[in-house]
Amino acid sequence: MNPNYTDSEGNATTNKIESVLKRLEEIRAEEKQLLSVLENLKTKEKNKCGQYKIKKSKVLVIGAGGLGSTVLLYLCAMGVGKIGVVDFDSVESSNLHRQIIHKENTAGLPKVESAKRAMNELNSGCEVETYNTHLKSSNALEIFEKYDIVVDASDNLPTRYLINDACVITKKPLVYGSALRLDGQVVKYNYKGGPCYRCMFPKPPPFDKKASCSEAGVLGVVPGLIGCIQALEVIKIVLSADSPQPTSSYMLSFSTYGNPQFRQFRIRNRRPDCEVCGESPTITSLIDYPAFCGADSTDMAPVSKVLEKSDPCRISCMEYSKVRKSGQPHILLDVRDTDQFQLCSFRGSRHIPLDRLVSEGQEYANGDNSSTGKESQFKNLVDDAKEKNLPIYAICRRGNLSQSAVKALREFANFEKCYQIDGGITAWNKTVDDGFPFY
Ligand SMILES: Nc1ncnc2c1ncn2[C@@H]1O[C@H](COP(=O)(O)OP(=O)(O)OP(=O)(O)O)[C@@H](O)[C@H]1O
Ligand SMILES: [Zn+2]
């Protein structure tokens, strides 16, 4: 620039040009700053947008059975960015009435693979990571670390305590669900200062065969409903990540024949002396959960201990079908609960729910028939069988309760001509008559 140029009034132009150029540079810097502020604002807005939060979320679902099927389908359909699925089991066609993520053509596949196929077809934008394995103390923490929220869609106590403790240790909220027979529940545990599962149930109840899904059964649509609510709670957690701590925690309970069908109960606050989430926890790493619960982590666990496998009274469905075909007179004793018996039963079978059989059996053994005031069905059964010299064949859903029925007949009435049909109506459906209604 030539400093000798002047404008019409004789002022030096060089200085003017330089100052204009300087201002231009300042304006450019300001513009850059403003653009970056704008960009930040846009990102903040985007982060506030629900769908974006859902897309960024990572959810782990334990169990791809009845509850897991609906949870997985809805979370995937709603656009959760990453979903982990843990299950060690394979698809059986008898699962399909309630495990709706699986199909006839995926029977035999690992459940996690079958679930992944369905999820990929539904929303290819959702990343699905599968764990075809038993969730155990040795692998849980490593898996949990990769996710923001954990869903318990399992079906047994050791797994439920394991999931709870792993959530407390890794600081993940837990959306718990359970469905049995005609009822179900959903609770958020370890969420924003609320209680954990152990705060509610510090010690596991004694194993109850009747309270296991495989024995008690579940009406297909119930886990569907409960799974939907679990998915909803997951989405609520994702969307309200920045909201303040809730003042109380609740359990949502569903009962098919309830009035009302849905109820909400306030549950206790975090227990200061809770062994895992309390003020001085004694459980700071994962423990041996099957030992803690006295059951292994399948919901069939300690069953075969009622009668030895080699006990001659245990017969297969095929053997019992020969008895039926031969026309041999006998009594078929169905010991399932009444609601299950009403769903389907063998024509001519005699129904005494196991609870009643055992309590009346005890009275029979004690020579006391007065406490209930009712006619003793146990006594009638034994009298009929003895009088007409008829063997008794006991049946239930999976072959668990019927073992206890045989034990009761032996112990309380010294009745030895009784048999237990292994695998119950589930095995009957699979091995003898697939037209027999199954639930
Ligand atoms: N510790 C565990 N690790 C991995 N998967 C588990 C664990 N515990 C339970 N599950 C899975 O959780 C699911 C529970 O679902 P659900 O009870 O509907 O299925 P199910 O066991 O096939 O049913 P049923 O007992 O009537 O045959 C099952 O698929 C089971 O394999
Ligand atoms: Zn606790």
For 217-258, what is each residue's pLDDT tens digit? 677 899 999 999 999 999 999 998 767 667 788 999 999 988
- Helix axes 66-77 and 221-239, enclosed angle (nearest 10): 40
Q: Which of 70, 67, 274 is nearest to 180 (CA)?
A: 67
pLDDT attached to residue 302: 41
Ligand 1 centroid – CA 147 distance (Å): 21
Q: Is residue 216 part of a domain?
A: yes
396 is catalytic: yes
Residue 23 has pLDDT above 60, yes or no: yes
DSSP structural state of residue 205? P
* 159 CA: nearest ligand 1 atom: 1
pLDDT attached to residue 414: 94
Residue from 61, 86, 89 whose mutation best tests the ligand 1 pocket (most atoms within 8 A of CB)? 89
pLDDT attached to residue 342: 82
Catalytic residue among 76, 317, 396, 418: 396
For 291-348, what is each residue's pLDDT tens digit? 888 766 555 434 345 778 788 899 999 999 999 999 999 999 999 988 778 878 999 9
pLDDT attached to residue 346: 94
Instruction: Output the CA–CA distances (angstroms, integers) from residue 394 to 137, 206, 244, 352, in the order listed.
Output: 38, 24, 56, 10
For atom 12 of ligand 1, the residue with the nearest CA is: 63
DSSP structural state of residue 204? P
Among candidate residues 271, 303, 335, the one where a domain is terminated: 303
Among candidate residues 271, 286, 303, the one where a domain is terminated: 303
Do 318 and 376 reside in the same domain of the chain? yes
76: annotated binding-site residue? no
pLDDT attached to residue 371: 54
Do 72 and 209 reside in the same domain of the chain? yes
Do 187 and 336 reside in the same domain of the chain? no
Do 194 and 321 reside in the same domain of the chain? no
Measured distance CA(285)–CA(276) in Å, rounded: 9
CATH number (domain holding residue 362): 3.40.250.10
Contact 186, 226 (CB under 8 A): yes
Q: Is residue 4 part of a domain?
A: no
Placement of tokens 């923490």 in the chain: 141
Give backbone dihedrals phi and psi of 75, rounded to 5 degrees, phi first. Answer: -65, -40
Ligand 2 centroid – CA 233 distance (Å): 20
Q: Is residue 161 part of a domain?
A: yes
For atom 19 of ligand 1, the residue with the nearest CA is: 65
Do 182 and 87 reside in the same domain of the chain? yes
Q: How far is CA 246 from the centre of its chain?
A: 24
Do 271 and 132 reside in the same domain of the chain? yes
Q: Is residue 201 part of a domain?
A: yes
pLDDT attached to residue 306: 74
Ligand 1 centroid – CA 218 distance (Å): 13
- Count structural domains, the chain: 2
Min mean pLDDT across 150-164, 274-288, 293-307 is at 293-307
Catalytic residue among 167, 213, 313, 317: 213
89: annotated binding-site residue? no
Ligand 2 centroid – CA 198 distance (Å): 5
Do 294 and 327 reside in the same domain of the chain? no
State which of 184-198, 199-213, 248-262 shows the largest mean pLDDT.
184-198
Q: Cα-atom radius of gyration of the chain, to the nearest Å?
A: 32
Q: Which domain holds residue 338?
A: 306-431
Strands of 418-421's sheet in order across: 314-315, 418-421, 392-395, 331-334, 350-351
pLDDT attached to residue 69: 97
pLDDT attached to residue 1: 46
Do 255 and 364 reside in the same domain of the chain? no
Cβ neighbors of 103 (< 8 A, separation 6 or more) are 96, 114, 118
344: annotated binding-site residue? no
Do 161 and 257 reside in the same domain of the chain? yes
Q: Is residue 3 part of a domain?
A: no
Min mean pLDDT across 43-52, 158-167, 204-213, 395-404 is at 204-213
Q: Which of 156, 267, 177, 181 is nearest to 230 (CA)?
A: 177
213 is catalytic: yes
Q: Is residue 311 part of a domain?
A: yes
Residue 170 has pLDDT above 90, yes or no: yes
Percent of the chain predicted with pLDDT > 90: 67
CATH number (domain holding residue 198): 3.40.50.720
Q: Is residue 15 part of a domain?
A: no
pLDDT attached to residue 299: 52
Placement of tokens 């959960």 in the chain: 289
Do 214 and 331 reside in the same domain of the chain? no
Pocket of ligand 1 (CB under 6 A): 62-66, 86-89, 95, 99, 111, 134-135, 154-156, 159, 213-214, 297, 299
249 vs 84, more confident:
84
Among candidate residues 303, 324, 355, the one where a domain is terminated: 303
Q: Is residue 341 part of a domain?
A: yes
Do 257 and 349 reside in the same domain of the chain? no
Do 229 and 84 reside in the same domain of the chain? yes
